[in-house]
Amino acid sequence: MRLILGLGNPGAQYELTRHNAGFLVLDALTEKHNIKLDTNRHYCLYGKGTIGGHEVVAAKPMTYMNESGKAAKAILSALDILPEQAIVVHDDIDLPLGKIKRKHKGGDAGQLGVRSLINHLATDRFTRIRIGIGRPEHHEDIVDFVLSPFTQDDFPIVREVQEQAVELIETTLAEFSEKPKKSEEDTGC
């Protein structure tokens, strides 16, 4: 079984924010594969299903972003899934809007949700699907930027990114049992 963990912040006020790119991709994935997120346990809202013949658990941490590791550790432990069997989908300000990269291990690059995962799991050996959200012009505006909603002009790109990220997750699941991974790949508009 594999875990697909979309990072974000719970609550309606964060629903369409840039920081919730992981939640938005997970929503598209679960809708496409008819996986109902109907269990609220282990600090996560999650559901089980099958994608391309692979049993998966799709989950959203119900902690805030910087506590995502607490939820990841709890659900991985409860379901007896290794961190290496997890795909984590998260926003990335170092990538422009529309760009997606897959990474199989490494540091957190300042992403506090990923930092929390690495700290709680005591490993960096999980796959990341990095969703580009762009970067604000001024460094001091980062928190406001990631917690702001996507603009109307952004939504066509966001929808396209959701579709591409879902395809990348499907491909990643298929490759888990096929061959060794490269450390990083990218895709995007």
- Residue 83 CA to residue 73 CA, distance in Å, equals 9
pTM over 0.85: yes
Q: What is the pLDDT of residue 138?
A: 79
What angle do helix axes 155-175 and 21-32 make, rounded to 10 degrees? 70
Q: Give SS3 for 132.
A: strand
Give yes or no: 33 in active site.
Answer: no
Helices (H), the chain: 21-32, 68-78, 112-121, 142-146, 155-175
How many other CB atoms are found less than 10 A from the CB of residue 101? 18
User: Which is the catalytic residue, given 19, 33, 42, 90?
Assistant: 19
Mean pLDDT, the chain, as a whole number? 93
Confidence check: pLDDT of 113 > 90: yes
Give the strands of the sheet with 184-188, arranged side by side: 39-41, 44-51, 54-61, 2-6, 86-92, 127-132, 99-103, 184-188
Nearest to 126 by CA among 8, 9, 2, 35: 2
State the angle between helix axes of 112-121 and 68-78 in degrees (0 to 180), rounded to the nearest 10.
Answer: 40
- Topology of the domain comprising 2-188: Rossmann fold (3.40.50)
pLDDT at 185: 55
Which tokens is 121 given?
Answer: 């799991």
Residues 6+ apart with CB under 8 A from 122: none
* pLDDT tens per residue, range 118-161: 999 999 999 999 999 999 887 778 999 999 999 999 999 999 99
What pLDDT does 125 receive?
96
9-67 pLDDT, tens per residue?
999 999 999 999 999 999 999 999 999 999 999 999 999 999 999 999 999 999 999 99
